[in-house]
Amino acid sequence: MTHGELKEDIAAYALDALAPEEARKVEAHLRACEECRSEVAALREVAGELASGAPMVEPPSALRARVLAAVRPTPPAVTLPRAWAVSLAGAAAAVLLILAGLTVSLQRERAALHARLAAQGQVLALLASPTAKTASLTGTVPAGVRFVYDPDRRRAALVVTDLRDPGREFVYQLWLIAGQQPESAGVFRPVPGQPIIVPVAADLARYQVVAITVERGPHGVPRPTATPILLAKI
């Protein structure tokens, strides 16, 4: 299709009035044509004005809560070599070695460096603390999952050495439970053959139980939808 032919469709494109295959043709042309790109930009502004022709209705506040819960950041999972994880509860000297080998798996590459530093800092502070405690999570599946926490420093980390894959569409979601009230502490997926650490920042004195459910990914849910597969009292 030529520039001239496509130009005829640009207004319809800006109005989303093309069939999907026509829209794809326009998009292919836009990648190559600066003139059409700037015309689309201008017509998009016009279309944006048409949006304010819709009668304004306040969205429900529950929707706001749901959307914000969906984007609440997932603690970056920290992976470390299996051999080091075994000695995790042991010598503090090993801690520095572990930290040297930390690799962070993150969806957001640009946030990776910041998150890695913060995660390392958290885990370092936690493992170095003489007041840190450990609870093993048990439940309906075989697992090697420990919750290391330090109520004094409001820091904790979930150490996952063995946990099966939750399935393509699913994630594990960690919950801190105060009374009857579960609060999400993040979602994670196990990395095959590699232990991972999920850092948690929370006022741990408030909670009595830590639990894990299987939830729909990638963001998890604001409230648990299933019974926990693993839990521990803290």
d(CA 72, CA 228): 21
Question: What is the distance between the terminal CA atoms of the chain, rounded to a whole angstrom?
Answer: 66
**Among 70, 83, 89, 128, interactor with another protein by CB under 8 A:** 70
- Residue 53 interacts, among Zn ion, another protein, none and using kind-specific CB cut-offs from 5 to 8 Å, with another protein
Q: Map the footprint of another protein across residues 109-128, applying CB under 8 A.
A: 110-111, 114, 118
Q: Which does 86 bind (CB under 5 to 8 A by kind): another protein, Zn ion, none?
A: none
Q: Give min distance, CB of 50 to another protein, in A.
A: 5
Query: 210: which strand partners?
Result: 176, 232
| Burial status of residue 195 (CB atoms within 10 A of its CB: 0-12, 13-18, 19 or more) | buried
**Binding segment for another protein among 6-14, 77-85, 164-172, 173-181 (CB under 8 A)?**
6-14
Q: What is the 3-state secondary structure (H, E, C) of 144-160?
A: EEEEEEECCCCEEEEEE
Residues 127-166: x/- map of binding to another protein (CB under 8 A)? ----------------------------------------
Closest approach, Cβ 37 to another protein, in A, equals 6
Nearest distance from C-beta of residue 25 to another protein, angstroms: 13
DSSP H or E stretch at residue 169: none
Q: Which stretch binds another protein (CB under 8 A): 17-25, 88-96, 175-183, 224-232?
A: 17-25
Report the residue from 1, 3, 38, 68 that binds Zn ion according to the rule CB under 5 A.
3
In which order are the strands placed within the sheet that holds 144-150? 103-105, 77-79, 196-201, 155-162, 144-150, 133-136
Q: Does 36 bind Zn ion (CB under 5 A)?
A: yes
HSE, CB side, 13 Å, CA atoms: give it for residue 62: 1
The answer to whether residue 72 forms part of the interface with another protein (CB under 8 A) is yes
Helix axes 93-100, 109-128, angle to 10 degrees: 170
Helices then strands, counting H and E runs in the chain, come out as 8, 11
Q: Which residues bind another protein (CB under 8 A)?
A: 8-12, 14-19, 37, 40-60, 63-64, 66-68, 70-73, 108, 110-111, 114, 118, 201, 219
